[in-house]
Amino acid sequence: MTPEDPEETQPLLGPPGGSAPRGRRVFLAAFAAALGPLSFGFALGYSSPAIPSLQRAAPPAPRLDDAAASWFGAVVTLGAAAGGVLGGWLVDRAGRKLSLLLCSVPFVAGFAVITAAQDVWMLLGGRLLTGLACGVASLVAPVYISEIAYPAVRGLLGSCVQLMVVVGILLAYLAGWVLEWRWLAVLGCVPPSLMLLLMCFMPETPRFLLTQHRRQEAMAALRFLWGSEQGWEDPPIGAEQSFHLALLRQPGIYKPFVIGVSLMAFQQLSGVNAVMFYAETIFEEAKFKDSSLASVIVGVIQVLFTAVAALIMDRAGRRLLLVLSGVVMVFSTSAFGAYFKLTQGGPGNSSHVALSALVSAQPVDASVGLAWLAVGSMCLFIAGGPQALWSLLACLRFLHLQCPFHFVLCP
């Protein structure tokens, strides 16, 4: 798909003759919506600094054992799965704006429950609520931003969605460096509360208002966001079709569908979520002296390479970035696994007896020095991850354009 492709450049609501709108309120509206992905990222990264803090907590505060810590990190994905289904239902019935307003409620409620937690079940319940909000926000925010943006800034604002997610993760790591788990949860209430406040003053997207036959409101929203309604064009009738299982019999439907779902599955199975959820715990297990610092380094690397991947994606190509990312992630995870094998594997459970004996003879300081291998391999893994994610989003966007129904919503 090239930039000259008419399907890419033709706006849904756009002025003809190349006269670009200059309304600046669209950036405020996009920022308000992007606080949802920021909250999403904070919820993902929260478990990394919170788990060590909760494992060290003294009564009467709840304390996590290894099994509970595993659930504390992972249960957010169960809520996100349910939130994705709920968000798909809400976005077309309640609208984009109301869906974003509603998803701020479980964000705030979830972190509030964690803040007031007296036992492990309250902690898990709070994480489940934040996961539910994550699922809704990750679906609705990109739709809202793409539908309010005019063509000249649509790509820029769309790229901010994933960037805000990794900024939220980094914010959780940085705050976790100085805050214990309760105060970190209090901080987690701030972004969704700010989103709730700002979105109250933002309009619904013109596209959704058109589908509800509210033309006057759509034009008012357009004037608010773009500064003018000059050249406003109605979307083509029948531009979107609902999905029916019978459509999967058509090769033009099931091939993009299978490819898109497979790409998403492999991206999730790469293990990047596990690294985000348990970064600090991983580095503690790796005997790194300052696991909080290592987590912050990983977060910074992720933000930087996410921005770089967004900039080079169109020039380097989607397929090349996916292949390069896969090679980098395989190499880095292999190095990380080798580190744990060398430092923790004993002669009794290793087929490489001579190697294990050699490592076991090393002084403790040598193992601690090798901890930088763990940090380096994880940074390399994270550096490769954004390339795969941006290529994945671009591929899904291309496949989305090939199908007459919206089986995936990408920024």
Q: Are residues 222 and 267 in the same domain?
A: no
127 against 362, higher pLDDT = 127
Q: What is the mean pLDDT of residues 233-254?
A: 64
Banded model confidence at residue 399, pLDDT cuts 50, 70, 90: very low
Query: Where is average pLDDT lowest: 161-175, 186-200, 238-252, 286-300?
Result: 238-252
Residues 340 and 375 in one domain: yes
Whole-number pLDDT of residue 46: 95
What lies within 8 Å, CB to CB, of 403 at 6+ separation is 252, 253, 256, 257
Whether 377 is in a domain gets the answer yes
Task: State whether 322 and 183 are in the same domain.
Answer: no
Let me know whether 287 and 328 are in one domain: yes
CATH at residue 179: 1.20.1250.20
In a domain, 7, yes or no: no
Look at residue 89 and tell me if it is in a domain: yes
Q: Across residues 304-319, what is the average pLDDT?
A: 75
Q: Lowest-pLDDT range, 20-24, 53-57, 108-112, 264-268? A: 20-24
Q: Are residues 322 and 201 in the same domain?
A: no
pLDDT at position 347 is 46
Band of pLDDT at residue 387, cut at 50, 70 and 90: low
Q: Same domain for 304 and 206?
A: no
Residue 364 has pLDDT above 50, yes or no: no
For the cut 50, the answer to whether the pLDDT of residue 180 exceeds it is yes
Assess whether 145 and 37 both reside in one domain.
yes
In this structure, are 212 and 289 located in the same domain? no
- The verdict on residue 191 lying in a domain is yes
Interaxial angle between packed helices 96-115 and 66-93, expressed in degrees from 0 to 180 and rounded to the nearest 10: 160
CA separation, residue 295 to residues 116, 207, 264, 354, 374 (Å): 26, 41, 25, 33, 11
Q: Would you say residue 200 lies in a domain?
A: yes
**Cα 204 to Cα 140: distance, rounded to the nearest angstrom:** 12
pLDDT at 367: 54
State how many domains the chain has.
2
- Does residue 56 form part of some domain? yes
How far, in Å, CA of 78 to CA of 84, rounded? 10
**What three-state secondary structure class fits 230?**
coil
Note whether 141 and 266 are same-domain residues: no
Is the pLDDT score of 231 beyond 50? no
Nearest to 96 by CA among 213, 177, 207, 171: 207
Mean of the per-residue pLDDT values of the chain: 78
312 in the same domain as 392: yes
CA distance 182 to 49: 11
- Residue 406 included in any domain: yes
What percent of the chain clears pLDDT 70, i.e. is strictly above it? 75
Least confident of 47-61, 157-171, 217-231: 217-231
Does residue 355 belong to any structural domain of this protein? no
- Do 28 and 88 belong together in one domain? yes
**Which pLDDT score is estimated for 324?**
81
Instruction: Give the structural domain span for 391.
Output: 247-344+367-410
What the block records as the tokens of 305 is: 């390479």
Output the pLDDT for position 175: 94
User: What is the spatial distance between Cα 36 and Cα 83, in angstroms, rounded to a whole number?
Assistant: 13
Residues 138 and 39 grouped into a single domain: yes
